[in-house]
Amino acid sequence: ARYEPSENAIIGNCALYGATGGTFYVHGQAGDRFAVRNSGCTAVVEGTGLHACEYMTNGTVVILGGTSNNIGAGMTGGELFLYEEPGSKINKEYIGAVKLSSQDEQKLKAILEDYHKETQSTKTGYILSDWENAKQQFKKYIPVSMIDEETKTEKASVET
């Protein structure tokens, strides 16, 4: 039987716990508490269980598939990009959505291109093949305490 990586858990709970740097690509799904206390790693995963990015303080996480509840609880830094996620599983007490800037789009595309090169992910190939439309399906989440700061930064860069 052939298993589709994006539909199967290939790493267990608490993967990437406390990571301080580096790059971590998961060509499949992760269990609960993915990237908890991430403080500097860039990671891509095709789905997660409960409490993804809980207590995250820095770094970038891209989740390309299904998730469970309580994403971003206690998150105080870093950024999270979700693909086709309705937002109902987000812990809105801690994180909120912001519009992707052109810099965000470039960064996200570069991460996905590298992920695709390393994993040959079918899902990422599909996303990259129609990037102009697919990028609109991504939402960026950051800690609510940073939302006003980021909005001010975006306005300042537009005005100058």
Contacts of 85 (CB under 8 A, 6+ apart): 63, 67, 139
Question: How many domains would you assign to the chain?
Answer: 1
**In the prediction, which pLDDT does 153 show?**
52
As a whole number of angstroms, the distance between CA 67 and CA 50 comes to: 7
Over residues 104-118, mean pLDDT = 98
As a whole number of angstroms, the distance between CA 49 and CA 102 comes to: 30
Domain that holds residue 13: 5-159
Cα dihedral across residues 126, 130, 131, 134: positive or negative: negative
Report yes or no on whether pTM surpasses 0.95: no
Contact call for residues 140 and 97 (beta carbons, < 8 A): yes
**In the prediction, which pLDDT does 8 show?**
75
**In the prediction, which pLDDT does 156 show?**
44
pLDDT per residue as tens digits for the range 47-81: 999 999 999 999 999 999 999 999 999 999 999 99
Average pLDDT score, the chain: 90
CATH number at residue 145: 2.160.20.60
